[in-house]
Amino acid sequence: MSQASYTLIEGSLPLLISMPHNGTEIPEDIKAVMTDVAGKVEDTDWYLDRLYDFAKAMGAYILMPKYNRYVIDLNRDPSGVSLYPGADTTELCPTSSFKSEPLYLAGKKPDQQEIDRRVGLYWQPYHQAISDTLAQIKQRFGKAVMLEAHSIASVVPRFFDGQLPDFNFGNNSGESCAAEMLQAIEQLDFAPYSQVSNGRFKGGYITRAYAKPDANIHTLQLELSQRAYLDEDTLDYNQQKADAVKPKLQNLVKQLIEFAQQ
């Protein structure tokens, strides 16, 4: 099902995979007041739809936005509250890139009226789709699991020191899913890739906002290092790397489905 601002692929099993930073487009009226840096959309979670292309055949529901995170970040609290107090982060409507480069021409940053407009046009529809889909899954199967699929450059000095581990799982420090769900995932064989749980990334707004483990709605975020499947210098999809990491992602999705069907 395609809407103006997102695509929802209906599934047959109790797993929703949300990819809120997979979109690459910027509406022309917004692009007109942005810098050339913004037009490159370098901070996209590149090619996640391609990387997780196996999930549709496995029966997962898949939700993806059309527009880029530079338009509005679907994984931010619309109130503007920081997910990581004290740490550097980008805003609901980002004004700078991960490299701290300006995304808007001088004097053209979005004001509150423009931010509110984007919330209504882009943020709300995506979140309504999440809410409705999880409710549908829960009603149909009795339990719902959501995987928040993300990726990020392996080195981003603005947000973390050194090189990020390859698989970064977050369940809001144990709050967003049953302990046994994360434990089962941690016991999977991710070698030769490194992994960590609730490190620099503990799960963003979506992971936190929709989690209701006591009501059988469980959420988990995966922040995958882009070095696992991209040529990071060019941001090109690396088929050889992707073919190597995909079986690990398939095992992850399989484990989440198994938990959801228990």
3-state DSSP call for residue 209?
helix
**Residue 84 has what pLDDT?**
67
Q: Which amino acid is at 96?
A: S
CB 200 within 8 Å of CB 159: yes
**How many CB atoms are closer than 10 A to CB 161?**
9
Q: What is the largest CA-CA distance in the chain?
A: 54
> Phi-psi bin for 162: left (phi > 0), alpha (psi -120 to 50), beta?
left
**Confidence bin at 80 (pLDDT 50/70/90):** confident
Q: Which amino acid is at 129?
A: A
| pLDDT tens digits, 33-42 | 999 999 999 9
| pLDDT tens digits, 115-150 | 999 999 999 999 999 999 999 999 999 999 999 999
**Residue 160 has what pLDDT?**
87
**Residue 89 has what pLDDT?**
74
Pseudo-torsion of CA 117, 122, 125, 129, nearest 10°?
-160
The token duo for 48 is 């996640």
CB 145 within 8 Å of CB 223: no
Q: Which range (88-92, 99-103, 135-139) has the least confidence? A: 88-92
CB 24 within 8 Å of CB 260: no
3-state DSSP call for residue 233?
coil
pTM of the model: 0.96
| pLDDT mean over 211-215 | 98
